[in-house]
Chains A and B, each alone.
Chain A
């Protein structure tokens, strides 16, 4: 379980807060989607969990243990992280990128090799790509590798920061489905930041909406879809429903014509 208590983060000495007073409990094996405007603090929130950012106030605990008490590199080897913008190491091959965390953790070479092959299959890339360099892959393929890298050391928790940005809708949908499948298969606790509210509704067990550093809504997709006292949140959650209704009416028009 991940628990955030009164987490605050400011980058300008308190003039403004990127994350303000956030309380959040994520039970094990939950898939949480974090949505919100650009600059609302989603990435910052995610990074406080694996200590890429240290909060000014508040505490983050994993399974009851404060993350502050764990050496950062050990903590991060236990938590998969998919970066907004991928962040593959350009000087390492795809195989080395995927296997980096197991390698740092001192796994034996053949165990790493087996794991890397397992993962490249899991994210549906041909094994021949293992010897390529990141620059020799398309943007979407790189994002798959980023996901594989995050999962390599069998973490219990995966943090994903817009893992499907810059993908075409078909690939995006396919990869989203795969992520959910991996989440089930590996019994993960997943926190995924996304801009796409439909994606959040379709993939997540629970949606957290952020605005100006605060959590303004938190609930299961169907609860939020049913309506929310905050007008901005209800407009936001209305969007997938309105889109679905429009698509349906278009389809019905078409069948009526024929």
Chain B
């Protein structure tokens, strides 16, 4: 147990500082937006109503969806500004997270502020005019000070929400304490999941208490205390800002990974090769599937590994199913032509979707192929990862084999195997390179109609990265050098329930076992 804890502590400065910077920026922006809104809307019911309604509406959008939606929006915007002014910005990572969290932070501040202002004693407000205040002076000397304690309570609520929700910034490519949670979830590393939760909770509590100190200082007219709270907060943010500076300028190569074990291992392998050549490397792991490709095409990643079938169907949106070699060569030309992305080459194994069952049940029902499965499907439940049922491959399987399952269930990959073993589902859409197929003694069903497209693992380079000979030199030795058996075993080392290894350790083993130069 000390090993995952040790590894978690090692990345804490990076994760924590990025989490703090993101949350602080979002909260500051939220305050900067909501206070003027509050001031404008406080005496006008006509303005107040729509403003509060919109803020509440935003709050009801699930946070992860809000975060995800900003990515395509910003990407489109970035393309537009690129075309119009020749300026493009990063659509992945900090910006979408910041915007989504800012929107989230507005409601508590606004609602508390409006409640506070509406509940001010009208006699006091009139007295303010009576002693000769202008409207502006009344706002500054009477309304805001009297509303301040409630407004601060709103800021505190908002801060706690923002810090909690910032953990969801990981899938859009922003490092945060959520990296512990998402990575831990993928790799069934519960120490990391707990560590991430604990760190986020601790951060929220500390922030809340410092804001409480400011609130107390304001309410009790003890400016020293308010200043102390503010200074501590600012010092915390400054320290967070100093971490990346101390770590040296970022930059260099950005290695991406989607959100499953194999991707973490391959990213670790690629990073270690680049580092060995003396290049600075940043890793962006846990990315959503198509997000990763778009990020690469936008030069926000330098390199990552994807799969031919995924690229063909999901990213290029082809409906056809060419043979394996044709797909590979077509992808090479089309990716380059349409996105400037370079397909460096295949790693040498496939990670295709396969339908798998527990051996005893498959034997009892006499199921060997997906064709056999169709007959029993109405009595069986199928489990898939979060993306499977939205993919063309599933629709094709369903149509060509006339599959009608009793029920379909979605799982995080780590839980899918548990679901199969516990009997919650009878069939799963697994991955052919997954080590758990062997560990759990599963039967992989044959696909006689060849509906499932080839999924060769391929290294992709971004348009900028493609011109970098150093990148090519470091990665070319991987081409055609990773056989399925080794990849499966490396995956197994990380996924197995006992004697678990980290992706980095598995990558080291893989490099050694594959005799990589």
Task: Give residues in A with beta carbon < 8 Å to B.
Answer: 50, 52, 72-74, 76-77, 81, 83, 85, 87-91, 100-101, 104-105, 149, 153
B132 near A83: Cβ-Cβ < 8 Å: no
- How many angstroms from the CA of A90 to the CA of B145 in the assembled complex? 10
Which residues of chain B have C-beta atoms less than 8 A from A149's C-beta? Answer: 131
- Interface-side segment among B39-47, B97-105, B122-130, B509-517: B122-130
A76 near B132: Cβ-Cβ < 8 Å: yes
- How many angstroms from the CA of A59 to the CA of B137 in the assembled complex? 28
Output the least CB separation between A121 and chain B (Å). Answer: 21
Known A88-B127, A90-B124; contact A77-B146, beta-carbon cutoff 8 A: no
A73 near B127: Cβ-Cβ < 8 Å: no
Most interface-central of B126, B129, B131, B145 (chain A CB within 10 A)? B131
Which residues of chain B have C-beta atoms less than 8 A from A83's C-beta? Answer: 123, 126-127, 130
Output the least CB separation between A11 and chain B (Å). Answer: 14
The reply on B142 being an interface residue by CB < 8 A is yes
- How many angstroms from the CA of A115 to the CA of B123 in the assembled complex? 25
Closest to A146 in B: B127
Output the least CB separation between A147 and chain B (Å). Answer: 13
- How many angstroms from the CA of A153 to the CA of B133 in the assembled complex? 13
Selected from A50, A74, A76, A85, the residue in CB contact (under 8 A) with B123 is A85
Output the least CB separation between B428 and chain A (Å). Answer: 64
- How many angstroms from the CA of A104 to the CA of B142 in the assembled complex? 13
The reply on B134 being an interface residue by CB < 8 A is yes
A91 near B146: Cβ-Cβ < 8 Å: yes
Which residues of chain A have C-beta atoms less than 8 A from B129's C-beta? Answer: 52, 72-73, 76
Q: List 27 A-B contacts (CB under 8 A).
A: A50-B130, A52-B129, A72-B129, A73-B129, A73-B132, A73-B133, A74-B132, A76-B130, A76-B131, A77-B131, A77-B132, A81-B130, A81-B131, A83-B126, A83-B127, A85-B123, A87-B123, A87-B124, A87-B126, A87-B127, A87-B130, A89-B142, A90-B124, A90-B146, A91-B142, A101-B131, A104-B133
- How many angstroms from the CA of A100 to the CA of B132 in the assembled complex? 9
Known A83-B123, A104-B137; contact A89-B128, beta-carbon cutoff 8 A: yes
Selected from B126, B130, B145, the residue in CB contact (under 8 A) with A91 is B145
Which residues of chain B have C-beta atoms less than 8 A from A52's C-beta? Answer: 126, 129-130
Which residues of chain B have C-beta atoms less than 8 A from A81's C-beta? Answer: 130-131
Closest to A100 in B: B131
A105 near B132: Cβ-Cβ < 8 Å: yes
Closest to B132 in A: A77
- How many angstroms from the CA of A76 to the CA of B126 in the assembled complex? 12
Most interface-central of B123, B127, B134 (chain A CB within 10 A)? B127
Selected from B127, B134, B137, the residue in CB contact (under 8 A) with A89 is B127
Which residues of chain B have C-beta atoms less than 8 A from A100's C-beta? Answer: 131, 141
Interface contacts beyond A52-B126, A77-B132, A83-B123: sample of 11 additional A-B pairs, CB < 8 Å, sorted by A:
A73-B129, A73-B132, A73-B133, A73-B134, A74-B132, A88-B127, A89-B141, A91-B146, A101-B132, A104-B133, A153-B132
Output the least CB separation between A134 and chain B (Å). Answer: 10
Closest to A71 in B: B134
Closest to B146 in A: A91
- How many angstroms from the CA of A74 to the CA of B137 in the assembled complex? 13
- How many angstroms from the CA of A149 to the CA of B130 in the assembled complex? 11
Selected from B127, B131, B146, the residue in CB contact (under 8 A) with A104 is B131
Encode B104-126 as 1/0 by CB contact (under 8 A) with A.
Answer: 00000000000000000001101
Encode B51-87 as 1/0 by CB contact (under 8 A) with A.
Answer: 0000000000000000000000000000000000000
- How many angstroms from the CA of A250 to the CA of B123 in the assembled complex? 43
Output the least CB separation between B159 and chain A (Å). Answer: 24
Which residues of chain A have C-beta atoms less than 8 A from B124's C-beta? Answer: 87, 89-90
Closest to A104 in B: B132
4 interchain residue pairs of minimum CB distance: A87-B127, A77-B132, A76-B132, A81-B130
Output the least CB separation between B139 and chain A (Å). Answer: 13
Which residues of chain A have C-beta atoms less than 8 A from B131's C-beta? Answer: 76-77, 81, 100-101, 104, 149
- How many angstroms from the CA of A72 to the CA of B130 in the assembled complex? 9
- How many angstroms from the CA of A87 to the CA of B124 in the assembled complex? 5
- How many angstroms from the CA of A72 to the CA of B126 in the assembled complex? 13
Most interface-central of B130, B133, B146 (chain A CB within 10 A)? B130
- How many angstroms from the CA of A112 to the CA of B131 in the assembled complex? 15
- How many angstroms from the CA of A73 to the CA of B132 in the assembled complex? 4
Closest to B136 in A: A73
Which residues of chain A have C-beta atoms less than 8 A from B137's C-beta? Answer: 73, 104
Which residues of chain A have C-beta atoms less than 8 A from B128's C-beta? Answer: 89
Closest to B218 in A: A91
Output the least CB separation between A195 and chain B (Å). Answer: 18
- How many angstroms from the CA of A161 to the CA of B196 in the assembled complex? 63
Which residues of chain B have C-beta atoms less than 8 A from A101's C-beta? Answer: 131-132
Closest to A155 in B: B132
Closest to A161 in B: B130
Which residues of chain A have C-beta atoms less than 8 A from B133's C-beta? Answer: 73, 104
- How many angstroms from the CA of A85 to the CA of B127 in the assembled complex? 10
- How many angstroms from the CA of A72 to the CA of B129 in the assembled complex? 8
- How many angstroms from the CA of A188 to the CA of B142 in the assembled complex? 29
Most interface-central of A50, A73, A74, A149 (chain B CB within 10 A)? A73
- How many angstroms from the CA of A110 to the CA of B133 in the assembled complex? 21
Output the least CB separation between A104 and chain B (Å). Answer: 5
- How many angstroms from the CA of A74 to the CA of B131 in the assembled complex? 10
Most interface-central of A50, A81, A85 (chain B CB within 10 A)? A81
- How many angstroms from the CA of A83 to the CA of B133 in the assembled complex? 15
Which residues of chain B have C-beta atoms less than 8 A from A74's C-beta? Answer: 132
Output the least CB separation between B222 and chain A (Å). Answer: 13
- How many angstroms from the CA of A81 to the CA of B131 in the assembled complex? 7
Output the least CB separation between B1 and chain A (Å). Answer: 53
